[in-house]
Amino acid sequence: MNNQGCDLSKRDFLKKSLALSAGLICLPCRSVFPASHMEDSGIYKRIAMFQEETARGIMCRICPNECVLKEGELSKCNNRKVHDSKLYTLAFGNPCSVNVDPVEKKPLYHFLPGSKAFSIATAGCNLVCLNCQNWTISQISPDKTRNIELMPQQVVSECIRNNAASIAYTYTEPVTFYEYVFETATLARDAGIKNIFKSNGYINRDPLKKICGVIDAANIDLKAFSESTYLKLTGGKLQPVLDSLKQINDSGVWLEITNLVVPDWTDNMDDIAAMCKWLSTNGFKNTPLHFSRFYPLHKLEQLPPTPVEILNNAYKIATDEGLRYVYTGNMPGNEISDTICPKCKATVIERQGFRVVTNSLTDGKCSKCGGHIEGIWN
């Protein structure tokens, strides 16, 4: 066999084959690179609140990331974009996750126990937690997810239809769909529905002050208690979260705190002790603290679930520091989930999983000793 009758040399054949292969490969890849000139202008839902024009671009002032964006640039939370020299939110009326959950699942134990929370979330988050359980929607922009159209008034209607006592802004990070939360919460209040803010607390002072005017309860994730761990685990800073906790506590919004205990990251007992001491000395003795068990997820799949004894040790440290309402969760059969009267130590609310088995409170007081139990009970 020889090349006499063949016009195509080996080199030409290979060059053309490689060029064809590269072309075929590039066809599906074109979706990777955003074609901004083909963008659907419908993605720009609302003009964003708390924006400021600077010499370097438009600054978003909602959270400590304080992204400065030029035309067409997307924020770190994947939810804000500059269009025609204005900052827009891409998240409004387009939740990707809608569920009805027991309020205990948030977790909120001292807020309308036994009630249901109509829970919504849009895509996006201003942190990049390695263990995020909702990473498929938190680390992506709302224009890339399958969304449901649910404008604020519809959220309220659906909440009523599902006999839920509250609307919970949760799963991802409500700070990043701030405008949607604000408008929905305002309408919900008018309709007598409570609002729950399940957040990482990574928000600036002024936006937090404004949102506290329309929400009734918050559960804030205190993800770590050292700056370096916080940064490595979440990509954010600890201090703004501590500031948010104090601000919410002072605002009168009902507050509960969650600490996810992650092996090798946040299971250090000294750090937990320091956290509990800080909470105790900064006015959080009556704030329920939930220690939650970690399960391998996202980028921490190589870790084991948190051992039960670690959570029990954390519980002991917290109660020894004087914190009055401490719970452990996410470990069926081993949870410490009953509410105990801090005065007479009687069980005032017995829980099994997410279910309230007995509730012996009377007007927020222990039925045995009359001691006041902090919370919003009806």
Partner 1 sequence: MSDDAFRYIKNYKDSADAIILLLPPPTTLLLNRYYTSEFFSEVRKKLSKNGVFMCSPGPGENYLNKEAINLYSSIYNSLTSNFRNVKPVTGEKLYFIASGNPVSLFFCHLAEKNNINNIYVSRDYLDDELINKKSEEVMSLLDRGIHQNKSAYPVASFHFQRYQFSKNIGEKIPAIVLMIIIFALPVFRVKKRNFLMYCSASALAGLEIIILLSLQIMIGNMYQLTGLVIAGFMAGLAVGSGIKSAFLDTISLRNKVILQVLFYIAFGMIYNSLADIKSLVPALAVILIAGFLPALITGRIFRELTLQTGGIDKSSSVYSADLSGSALGFIFISGIAVPVFGIQVSVFLLAIQVCAGIIFGVSKNTN
Instruction: Name the 3-class secondary structure at 181.
Output: helix
The nearest distance, CB 2 to partner 1, in angstroms, is: 3
Residue ranges in 155-174 that form contacts with partner 1 under rule CB under 8 A: 171
Contact region for partner 1 (CB under 8 A) — 6-14, 187-195, 204-212, 259-267? 6-14
Instruction: Name the 3-class secondary structure at 321.
Output: coil
The nearest distance, CB 355 to partner 1, in angstroms, is: 5
Alpha-carbon span 94 to 17, nearest angstrom: 45
Alpha-carbon span 67 to 77, nearest angstrom: 9
Could you give phi then psi for residue 116, rounded to 5 degrees? -105, 150
Contact region for partner 1 (CB under 8 A) — 25-33, 197-205, 267-275, 277-285? 25-33
Under 8 Å between Cβ of 262 and 303: yes
Alpha-carbon span 336 to 339, nearest angstrom: 9
Residue ranges in 326-345 that form contacts with partner 1 under rule CB under 8 A: 332-333
CB closer to partner 1, 32 vs 55: 32
Region of 12 (left: φ > 0; alpha: ψ -120 to 50; beta: rest) is alpha
Binding mask 348-367 for partner 1 (x = CB under 8 A): ----xxxx------------
Under 8 Å between Cβ of 266 and 221: no
Number of residues that bind partner 1 (CB under 8 A): 39
The upper half-sphere exposure of residue 159, i.e. CA atoms within 13 Å in the direction of its Cβ, equals 31
Question: Which of 61, 62, 65, 59 lies closest to 235 in space, CA to CA?
Answer: 65
CB closer to partner 1, 13 vs 209: 13
Residue ranges in 123-162 that form contacts with partner 1 under rule CB under 8 A: 133-137, 139-140, 145-146
The nearest distance, CB 262 to partner 1, in angstroms, is: 16
27 interacts with partner 1 by CB under 8 A: no
62: DSSP letter? S
10 interacts with partner 1 by CB under 8 A: yes
Binding site for partner 1 (CB under 8 A): 1-4, 6, 9-11, 13-14, 18, 22, 25, 29, 32, 96-97, 99-100, 133-137, 139-140, 145-146, 171, 295, 297-299, 332-333, 352-355
